[in-house]
């Protein structure tokens, strides 16, 4: 059977084929199966459309999954997981549609077995009349198609032929709409990819704030610079060490150290006389007993035979060598002179050597 572009003519051709198969079965001596009920045919047509839709969804999901795998992302990526879930859902929907078609085919088979056409003369004549009517409709449809005569239009088909004609029209429209929808989806996906690519390019672009330059001389410092830096650091450390020693030293050197303690006032400072207190062994051996006093005129002076007593300044007692006594006397006289020159208001603050 050759189908044409006219859905009404195609429906008539399929109806003619069914009638001929029934007529041949009866003429062969057997019973011909009855025609399929219109409601079962409509259900099977809807199930076939659902199966086609599910198959398209499976193809789209597999294509998307292949595109993600080609991009190199791992199976743990969220997009890869979503694509796998979409493929699984589409396959489940396709399996449900195919199972529904199998159930409808089983119902059609049972309906044909329960209602068969008996090989009687009445049934044969009835089938021949139906076949002649269908042939007339086919001839009229072909004649209108070839001649294009507006007045030769046939009436709208009724019954099974009308249902099948309407179904074919709706199926063709749904296929056209599905094709258009797929094209729009492809355009949307392409636009999304282009947008993502442009966003990635804009985020990856870098602005050079300062261009790199090629150095013309080593940046490492020379030996003289290192030596000068080390010398300066050593000098600073030495000064700090000296200041620390002076600030934290607790030795008493002069009268200022005693005054800083704020314990007792300083009345006078005795100078250190070089050579004072050094005894000559030879002179000490020839010295008679009885040393001179602090002053020549005092008791126990140079001519005094007895034990010497201390003078005004507290001279040494008996047994002191004469040269030491003379040195002590000179030191006392010098101290008295300095005290008189300093005066009572200035105090006595001469630093010893």
> Is the CA virtual torsion 241, 244, 250, 252 positive or negative?
positive
Structure-token pair, residue 265:
């006032």
Q: Is 33 helix (H, G, I), strand (E, B) or coil?
A: strand
Structure-token pair, residue 331:
């030191």
pLDDT of residue 300: 40
Q: How far apart are CA 40 and CA 323, in angstroms?
A: 157
Please report where in the chains the tokens 């072909």 appear, as a residue.
142
Q: How far apart are CA 270 and CA 85, in angstroms?
A: 110
Task: Let me know if 151 is exposed, middle or buried by CB neighbors in 10 A (0-12, 13-18, 19+).
Answer: exposed
Q: How far apart are CA 98 and CA 90, in angstroms?
A: 12
pLDDT of residue 121: 59
Structure-token pair, residue 347:
């105090």
The tally of CA atoms less than 13 A away on the side-chain side of residue 224 is 0
> Is the CA virtual torsion 194, 200, 203, 208 positive or negative?
negative
Q: Which residues of the chain have pLDDT under 50?
A: 146-152, 280-320, 344-353
pLDDT of residue 238: 96
Structure-token pair, residue 299:
């008791």
H helices of the chain, where?
A: 7-27, 38-71, 78-114, 121-147, 159-204, 223-248, 255-261, 281-285, 322-346
pLDDT of residue 237: 96
Rounded to 10 degrees, the C-alpha dihedral 327/333/334/336 comes to 150
Q: How far apart are CA 22 and CA 26, in angstroms?
A: 6
Q: What does the pLDDT look like over 209-263, one tens digit per residue?
A: 777 777 777 666 678 888 999 999 999 999 999 999 888 888 888 888 888 888 8
Q: How far apart are CA 221 and CA 70, in angstroms?
A: 56
Q: How far apart are CA 145 and CA 136, in angstroms?
A: 14
> Is the CA virtual torsion 46, 52, 58, 64 positive or negative?
negative
pLDDT of residue 9: 66
pLDDT of residue 230: 93
Pairing of strands 32-33, 116-117: antiparallel
Q: Which residues of 40-77 are buried (b: 16+ CB within 10 A; e: fewer)?
A: bbebbbbbbbbbbbbebbbebbeebbeebeeeeeeeee
The secondary structure of 132-186, three-state, reads HHHHHHHHHHHHHHHHCCHHHCCCCCCHHHHHHHHHHHHHHHHHHHHHHHHHHHH
């Amino acid at each position: 059977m050759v189908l044409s572009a006219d859905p009404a003519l195609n429906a008539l051709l399929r109806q003619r084929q069914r009638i001929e198969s029934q007529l041949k079965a009866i003429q062969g001596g057997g019973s011909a199966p009855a025609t399929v009920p219109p409601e079962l045919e409509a259900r099977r047509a809807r199930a076939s459309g659902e199966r086609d839709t599910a198959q398209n969804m499976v193809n789209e999901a597999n294509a998307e999954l292949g595109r993600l795998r080609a991009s190199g992302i791992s199976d743990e990526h969220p997009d890869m997981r979503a694509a796998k879930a979409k493929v699984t859902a589409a396959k489940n929907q396709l399996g449900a549609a195919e199972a529904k078609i199998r159930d409808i085919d089983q119902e059609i088979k049972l309906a044909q077995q329960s209602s068969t056409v008996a090989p009687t003369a009445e049934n044969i004549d009835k089938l021949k009349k139906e076949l002649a009517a269908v042939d007339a409709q086919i001839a009229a449809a072909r004649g209108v198609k070839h001649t294009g005569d507006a007045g030769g239009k046939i009436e709208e088909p009724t019954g099974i032929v009308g249902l099948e004609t309407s179904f074919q029209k709706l199926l063709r429209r749904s296929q056209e709409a599905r094709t258009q929808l797929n094209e729009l989806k492809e355009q949307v996906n392409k636009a999304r990819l282009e947008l993502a690519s442009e966003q990635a390019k804009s985020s990856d672009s870098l602005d050079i704030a300062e261009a790199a330059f090629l150095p013309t001389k080593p940046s490492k410092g020379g030996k003289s610079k290192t030596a000068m830096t080390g010398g300066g650091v050593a000098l600073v450390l030495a000064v700090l060490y000296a200041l620390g020693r002076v600030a934290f030293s607790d030795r008493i050197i002069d009268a200022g150290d005693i005054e800083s303690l704020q314990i007792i006032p300083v009345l006078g400072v005795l100078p250190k006389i070089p050579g004072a207190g050094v005894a000559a062994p030879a002179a000490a051996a020839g010295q008679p007993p009885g040393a001179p006093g602090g002053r020549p005129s005092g008791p126990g002076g140079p001519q005094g035979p007895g034990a010497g007593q201390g003078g005004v300044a507290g001279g040494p007692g008996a047994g002191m060598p004469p040269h030491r006594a003379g040195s002590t006397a000179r030191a006392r006289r010098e101290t008295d002179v300095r005290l008189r020159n300093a005066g009572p208001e200035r105090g006595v603050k001469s630093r010893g050597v």
